[in-house]
Amino acid sequence: MCCLRVADVDELYEAIRASGVPEASTGMPRLHAVRLQDWGLRAGFLIDPDGTQLTLIEQR
């Protein structure tokens, strides 16, 4: 697992989605929507073609 901390997670998420990566629950690559996580930060997830999870976290 790898975490990417960015100033605007929505902007990064939309750029990835615009490149053709779908928001889906199966398949690779795929995106999981940005939301407020139980651990207190807004984050989404990108699963890359190899199955590695990249956590997209918004800096506070």
DSSP 27: S
What pLDDT sits at residue 26?
A: 96
CATH number where 36 lies: 3.10.180.10
What pLDDT sits at residue 19?
A: 98
Q: Are strands 42-47 and 30-36 parallel, antiparallel or unpaired?
A: antiparallel
What pLDDT sits at residue 43?
A: 98
Name the β-bridge partners of 57: 5, 43
What pLDDT sits at residue 15?
A: 98
Q: 8 is in which domain, residue-wise?
A: 2-58
pLDDT in tens, 5-57: 999 999 999 999 999 999 999 999 999 999 999 999 999 999 999 999 999 99
CA 9 – CA 4 distance, rounded (Å): 9
